[in-house]
Structure 1
């Protein structure tokens, strides 16, 4: 391709020329701090979630730490119009996540407010969720949960305002008897996931598990 000659794909971290569908080179891939969490066992996220809401299983792909490569990857996905990174992260997740004989019934992504969605042009979780849905053969919903208020990015909020999530989300239709896998980009305080989970639990006899791209420990 002519574009590949004049505008070759480069590693997000070191700027080496790499294959068109790659995100980072092999050397930089080795620098990514993957969590290697077991979806069914206790881990940092499960311990934090249990303090806020009932949770079945939890998984995070990467550790989200200051100045590390995972932070740069998530930043590029969310703020640099690189939506396709979501597909790469989903493929990495697939390599590390085995539902065994206990697959969730539904994948649900955390929504953006319509104004934020228009500003960004895409929800950074949609392609990620859809890729997982196709591989695991689990249906997904991007509109089961509605964000009621427009607010600035969590990363720009102080800790006090991050805790003020009450009534931020509502459920658009009642579901019952479902095991929902709730998907977000970064786990920080867990309050966003807690607010959404309680809406899902109030809807019916449901269970909730959590999957995030990265966890900020």
Structure 2
């Protein structure tokens, strides 16, 4: 999906993230399942981009968990919502200017060592790619891992 101003996809993602419509994640996952077919490169683990504990407490849920768990159940791939940790609280990317969106250094850490795994890193909206790159780097630093990325929407 393209995440454009005044679009249905943007409305759906905002319902999911900001209006307590967690089940929208399951619907998007079902749409994804119709289109996503793993060949020889089936991942070993599905990993979500974490929310800071303060934002998780405010929202009450991580918008990626039901989406990821639905994919996990369908493809028989374990999910891990705790592998990555967000180290500090920041405003939502949508509320930050482009310069501040680039500030991701030390924002994430890996909770425990993992190596030799193909990890599918899952996020809601691809904007600059900096969040995904920062998380992927943490996973790759552990050694011998391969990272693929799946997003619900791309911001154009």
* Deviation digits for residues 115-169 of structure 1 (CA, Å, limit 9, x no counterpart): 0000000000000000000000001100000000011111000011100010000
The aligned counterpart of 2:94 is: 155
Q: Which runs of 4+ in 1 moved over 3 A?
A: none
Aligned to 2:76: 137
What are structure 1's unaligned runs of at least 5 residues? 1-61
Aligned mate of 2:9, from 63, 70, 73? 70
Answer yes or no: is 1:201 the counterpart of 2:122: no
TM-score by length of 1: 0.71
Which consecutive unaligned segments of at least 5 residues does structure 2 have?
A: none
> Larger strand proportion, structure 1 or 2?
2
Partner SS, residue 20 of structure 2? coil
Q: How many residues align?
A: 156
Distance 2:138 2:40 in 1: 26
CA RMSD of aligned residues (A): 0.6
CA deviation string 1:12-32 (max 9, x = no partner): xxxxxxxxxxxxxxxxxxxxx
User: What secondary structure does 1:166 align onto?
Assistant: coil
Quick check: which has more Rg, 1 or 2? 1
Residue among 37, 57, 60 paired with 1:118: 57
